[in-house]
Amino acid sequence: MALLHYGKPLVVMDSGGKDSAVCREIVRRSGVPHEIRHSLTTADAPQTVYYIRGQFKQAEETGIRCEVFFPYYKGQRTTMWRLIPAKKIPPTRIARYCCEVLKEGNGNGRFIVTGVRWAESYKRKQRGIYESFAKTKKNKIILNNDNDDRRMLFESCRLKSKHVCNPIIDWTDRDVWEYIRAEKIPVNPLYDMGFLRVGCIGCTMAGKQRYREFALFPTYKRAYIRAFEQMLLIRRQEGKDDSPGRWKDAQGVFHWWMEEDPMPGQYELLWDEETEELYY
């Protein structure tokens, strides 16, 4: 289908996590012509960067084209630390602009394979496996790496001219680990360090795991705090008065962001369904 629709091989999107490792392996075994791509988020742990480098080197030696994509925002190369001041709010569970900018761009115009899987739910059993183009914005899955009941084996995005195949959509965590062990697939060394998920250091989706991440990688904590400082500077220049709340300084933003000690008067980011904008 990739060759038919796009005249180009399938693209396996490799995040550096265990689900991507399984996808890489099953696509390789299928014999389907393919390439592998990784989006450098700039907030990945060094272990992820070295792991990807090693896996890509091995794949290239067998003739598979591998590419690492650098993130761009408004036509300029960016990083997590530049994006936060540019967006003027920290990334949160409901404002995951970082994934959209740092991870999403590089599969546009291609037929891609991702390792997303269904969230644990029985609802999924009533759903089919093929999703045609989403009719409303509300029903659209925006991010490639969202595990969600609504995900399908095959998906399409007309806007980005992208087709998606999620071949392990119905695999459980146990299935993934059993396959990895049985087939001796090398995985990111972060799992051996006790990480349950692999993503950016400090990702809000990691919940309380973030405390451990920042203890292991304190440089990233400092980088977030510096980015929050820049963010507050820009907000002040634009006349926003953060002095009465938890955002009075970068440390305050960091504590708020880590969801520590909710206090009366602290900012709560909310999503307005009507306008599809964040407010607080």
- Residue numbers of the site for ligand SF4 (CB under 6 A)? 41, 43, 91, 96, 98-99, 102-103, 199-200, 203, 205
Residue closer to ligand SF4 by CB (options 198, 232) is: 198
What are the distances in angstroms from CA 171 to CA 23, 54, 93, 147, 264?
A: 11, 26, 24, 12, 43
Report the nearest approach of ligand SF4 to the CB of residue 253 (Å): 16
Residue closer to ligand SF4 by CB (options 36, 200) is: 200
Residue closer to ligand SF4 by CB (options 64, 200) is: 200
Residue closer to ligand SF4 by CB (options 64, 166) is: 166
Report the nearest approach of ligand SF4 to the CB of residue 136 (Å): 23
Report the nearest approach of ligand SF4 to the CB of residue 265 (Å): 27
Residue 19 CB neighbours (<10 A): 23
Report the nearest approach of ligand SF4 to the CB of residue 101 (Å): 8
Residue closer to ligand SF4 by CB (options 165, 206) is: 206
Residue closer to ligand SF4 by CB (options 42, 156) is: 42
**Degrees to nearest 5, angle at CA 257 with 19 and 244:** 165
Report the nearest approach of ligand SF4 to the CB of residue 222 (Å): 16
Report the nearest approach of ligand SF4 to the CB of residue 16 (Å): 10
Give the count of alpha carbons within 13 A of 133, CB side only: 7
